[in-house]
Chains A and B, each alone.
Chain A
Amino acid sequence: MEKKDKNRTCLSTEELKILMDKYYEGETNCEEERIIRLYLNQDNPISKQFKDDINVQSYISVFLNYEDQKMKIKNKNIYLRKIVIRSIISVAAMFLGFFLVPKFSETDDCIMYAYGKRVDNEEKIMTHLNLVILELDFEGTDIENQLSEVFN
């Protein structure tokens, strides 16, 4: 079919018939279908000859509208389902972090800063640890003497 002006709705009976046949064969494009709908909705003698086709068009448009509504509801359900799943994942991640991260963050550390300098030598650090323990007196007797021994 030749390209015609978008707003032209004046078709001859023959042209409209050809277009309708093409429509029922499923060979019309969007523009041609638009012209069909536009023309059949007009009140003119030619379109009145296609009363049955008007009824078919009405039925199809109702059906298409119904299908469209169904699709919208389906898309909405899919969207809601995605939100719920993502919320569940977020909450699960939070609980995982609460229980697992402290467990896996346990590391072995052995660090000393001696008079401003960092010491990573484990042997030296453990020697100092033992000295610190030795300096602590748990007996509770002769404290002053032991204090003076340790710190002098």
Chain B
Amino acid sequence: MKNKILKLIFFLLTTIIGCDLYSQELESVIHFDGRYNKSDNAVVTYLKGKKIKDYRLSLFHSITLTQATEDIILFNTTVLNDKKHAVKIEEIYSQNKLRACYMQFDPINENSTLNRFILYKADQENAILIYMEGDTTLEQLIKIFINKN
């Protein structure tokens, strides 16, 4: 009986090890670890699957902060660091401060066709940070969002 249990555990372990593991290469992604779920001044949305299919996305994760100066400084730092890895960028500065930044990144690994996107908009107290994955491009996302307006 003991041998059978050990064999079953070994079998399960080999199966799990073979599974894909999520790789957090982008710094901004750490903000989406759930730390803002219980926050009084944040709205966090997480969508996956059919609901965002129209946008050609597979994952949509957003954080909207209000009256959160310190968090916005952190957001600015991680977004600026992630800029180095972006393949496409659109930035908007105002008074030498980053106000909006829309970036596209390569897929997470060679086997994936899903590009990654970070859309970020902020002023001194309020911010919107969005992380998305999808089989689309930054230009197509812009087109879709504009058509939706």
Contacts and interface: CB of A to CB of B under 8 A. Distances in A.
A and B together in one complex: yes
Interface in A107-152: 107-116, 118, 122, 125-126, 128-130, 132-140, 143-144, 147, 151
Interface string B28-63: 000000001111111111111111100000001010
Given A115-B41, A143-B99, A122 B51 contact: yes
Q: In which size bucket is the chain B interface?
A: 35 or more
B16 A116 contact: no
B49 A106 contact: yes
A102 B146 CA distance: 33
* Interface of chain B: mostly helix, strand, loop or mixed: mixed
Given A129-B60, A138-B146, A115 B99 contact: no
Nearest to B48: A109
B59 to A, nearest CB: 9
B1 interface: no
A96 interface: yes
Nearest to A94: B18
A116 B49 contact: no
B100 interface: yes
Nearest to A118: B37
A109 B47 contact: yes
A138 B145 contact: yes
22 contacts: A90-B11, A98-B18, A98-B19, A102-B19, A111-B45, A113-B42, A113-B43, A114-B43, A115-B39, A115-B40, A128-B45, A130-B148, A132-B62, A132-B64, A133-B148, A134-B149, A136-B102, A136-B119, A137-B121, A138-B142, A140-B92, A147-B123
Contacts of B45: 111-112, 125, 128-129, 132
Interface in A80-115: 86, 89-91, 93-98, 101-102, 106-115
A110 B47 contact: yes
A138 B14 CA distance: 47
Contacts of B96: none
A72 to B, nearest CB: 22
Contacts of B11: 89-90, 93
Interface of A: 86, 89-91, 93-98, 101-102, 106-116, 118, 122, 125-126, 128-130, 132-140, 143-144, 147, 151
A108 B51 CA distance: 8
The 3 closest A-B pairs by CB, nearest first: A108-B49, A97-B18, A98-B18
Contacts of B79: none
